[in-house]
Amino acid sequence: MNFGPLPSVEAAAVPADGLVLDVREDDEWAAGHVEGALHVPMSDFVARFGEVTEAVADGRTAYVMCRVGGRSAQVTQYLMGQGIDAVNVTGGMQAWDGAGRPMVADNGNPAFVL
């Protein structure tokens, strides 16, 4: 599937105060995620779209992330089609972790990318 030129950014370049939209599933999120990220699994995305529109209502850019970048590319394309400023995070959580960016886990254990 070709998405054409999607706006993308390296994980290391996501602003510390940027709105990270994590579209991974619940087990992936629980293992490790960006603190303060908005978690809307891709499988629930259409049903929970209102949460996303609320989060970007002030014109914020959504930095969309999954594990490696495939699901987030699809969601980024969808958001752009809805007129929302969205950017795909290249390499997803694996790149985020590789760049040494901070992560947290739901259970208090060390965070990791599932």
Whose tokens are 């999607």? That residue is: 6
What is the Cα–Cα distance from 42 to 39, expressed in whole angstroms? 9
- Alpha helices of the chain — where are they, by DSSP H? 26-31, 49-55, 70-81, 92-98
97 CB-near residues (< 8 Å, 6+ apart): 32, 103, 112, 113
Residue 62 annotated among the catalytic residues of the structure: no
CA dihedral 96, 3, 20, 55 (to 10 degrees): 180
- What one-character DSSP code corresponds to residue 69? S
Task: Exactly one of 62, 66, 73, 95 is catalytic; name it.
Answer: 66
List active site positions. 66
